Structure 1
Amino acid sequence: MEGIDRWIPHSAMTDPGRHANAIAALPSEVGALIQIIQGVLIHSDWVREYGLDETKLNSTARTTLPIAERLNDVLSRDPRPLSIQRSADKRSVGTCRDYAMMLCSFLRCKGVPARMRCGFAAYFSNAWEDHWVCEYWDSSAGEWCLCDPQIDQMLRQRSQISFDPANVPRQSFMSAGEAWLECRRARADPTSFGHGNVTGLWFVKINVLRDHYVLSGRETSSWDRWRDAPQPKRAVTGSELELLDALAANPEQPLVEIAPDW
């Protein structure tokens, strides 16, 4: 399938399986879907903000699950329809990628071209924070629209976010490739990109690879284990630059298989 419509069929990760009928009953408007997702998910990094005990998180908290499995988890905690907002302690605990993947799955179920993107958000702190969002094709405008279903009322207040999560300004989110090229052109400081105290060009490299993979239908990859990388591996070598420059400039090119220890 060519062009925009290639982003309508599900991947193995976004296929809702037996939950397709439940999703079909949901509204089609993007903002409404975002609110529904916020009512069934909670982010593992923010559980304390919702009054939960972070020491009691289970193994799914930082594991990106296929949507069919994630919805199994949602309904095992509360079997009511997905449109009913759960209390925080009854929601499935995941990460930003789970929010983005769920919106991507719901939109594809509605026949809307949608995909996930890996990059960096400027709206959580003064730095560019490692983050995943969803893009959908706005046919009326003829362009991709950025959405961040993670931005609920708590995050709006905490981070003073004023924009609509269904329409994230492009200047507020930088795809990994854009970040890489800005750093390479000395227009951005690599240490301002990362996750927590892990920052720098090496982290930008990791997200360049992850964004390339997701645009090839690989929503998860070996690069998700970046936390396990030993310090000597947290570097970018001169031999890597040409390929990374090419992937950053054209992340939608045919998949380049890269060894996990590269």
Structure 2
Amino acid sequence: MDHMRQSRFSDPGRHHERLAALPADPAAIGAVVRNLTVHYVGSGIDFPPERLADIDLRWVSRMLDRDHERFGGAPLDAPRPVEERLVGCCRDAALLTVAALRAHRIPARTRVGFADYLIPDFHVDHVITEYHDGARWIAMDPGLDLADVPLGPSGLRTAAQCWRAFRRGEIDPSAYGVAPGHPIGGPWMLLQYLLHELAHRRGDELLLWDLFGEGVPFADREWTEMPADLPADLAWLDEIADLLLAADAGDAGAERKLAARYAEDARLHPADTVFCVSPRGARYEVDLG
């Protein structure tokens, strides 16, 4: 996959020139993204329903449309009052950063996993940005102004790393999720985030609460009401995790196999629609067209 090209989710549409006007520097772009966005939970602000709806905008073009509506097309680096910024989450900050980097033809992608650095002794679901500097891939957390984040312990453990560790019995899955004591977490979240890691790698940078794939077992229930047991057949997920890890290690053959599996296996990719289980309480089907 060409990570310099915009995906259907990162494509800024009519706002391309606004992104291209930013400095071609990851740190500077991260600062702009922090000026544009505010976390729907981490900010501590009690947003009214009409503002909280920002979290489901999904496409960068729509996020920038919303910013344009509020600030009259002001340059993206012009200061925004925190209460009026785009309400989103880590995925939105990461994807906006990716879109801006791609606007400068810098290879970039989102990475999905669990961060070790947000809550002590807990692994928080998280999305960050990774870009290629011509020599290697470098991970950054634009939401927190962190550069060169390791992919592994003390940094962001990728979903594939977490899944394989879980399957080997090396981790306690209850320590992986939204927050300690929160009902969303554990084995089912590890499974879903493995699928999201693959989708994001293949250019479908879905919302973390978009459910997809043939046979999704809880698309018709509350996100917190996950089935008690995982499916009996997990070998296909183990294979995907192994391919993701091999691709991260530079195995071009593994990258090609991931592309083929993603295209051919209906369990692995979104079709024409996804089912959104938004934290704002909305439950609805989304037409990705």
Task: Tell me the residue number matched to 2:128.
Answer: 133
Aligned residues: 239
User: How does 1:5-24 map onto structure 2 within 5 Å?
Assistant: 6-24=2-20
Q: Is the 8 A contact 1:41 1:91 kept in 2?
A: yes
Deviations 1:7-51 (A, max 9, x none): 111111111111111111110111100000000110101232xxx
Structure 2 unaligned runs (5+)? Answer: 212-218, 245-254, 269-273, 276-289
**Separation (CA, whole Å) in 1 of partners of 2:84 and 2:98:** 22
User: How does 1:88-107 map onto structure 2 within 5 Å?
Assistant: 88-107=82-101
Task: Tell me the residue number matched to 2:185.
Answer: 199
Report the TM-score, using the length of structure 2 for normalisation. Answer: 0.76
Q: Hey, which bits of structure 1, 4+ residues long, moved more than 6 A?
A: none
More divergent stretch after superposition (75-84 vs 94-103):
75-84
| Deviation of 1:118 (Å) | 1.1
Paired-residue identity, %: 28
Q: Is the 8 A contact 2:3 2:102 kept in 1?
A: yes
Pair 1:258 & 2:244 matched: no
Pair 1:180 & 2:163 matched: yes
Partner AA of 2:238 in structure 1: D
* Alpha-carbon distance change, 173 to 230 in structure 1, aligned in 2, over 3 angstroms: closer
Deviations 1:109-164 (A, max 9, x none): 1111111111111111021111111111121xx22111111115xxxxxxxxxxxx
Task: Tell me the residue number matched to 2:66.
Answer: 73
1:208 aligned to which of 182, 185, 194: 194
**Separation (CA, whole Å) in 2 of partners of 1:145 and 1:74:** 28
Q: Is the 8 A contact 2:52 2:87 kept in 1?
A: no
Q: Is the 8 A contact 1:38 1:149 kept in 2?
A: yes
Residue 228 of structure 1 aligns to a residue whose secondary structure is coil
Task: Tell me the residue number matched to 1:110.
Answer: 104
Q: Is the 8 A contact 1:67 1:105 kept in 2?
A: yes
Report the TM-score, using the length of structure 1 for normalisation. Answer: 0.84
Partner AA of 1:119 in structure 2: G
**Separation (CA, whole Å) in 1 of partners of 2:203 and 2:14:** 21
| Deviation of 1:169 (Å) | 2.5
Q: Is the 8 A contact 1:60 1:94 kept in 2?
A: no
* Alpha-carbon distance change, 146 to 24 in structure 1, aligned in 2, over 3 angstroms: same
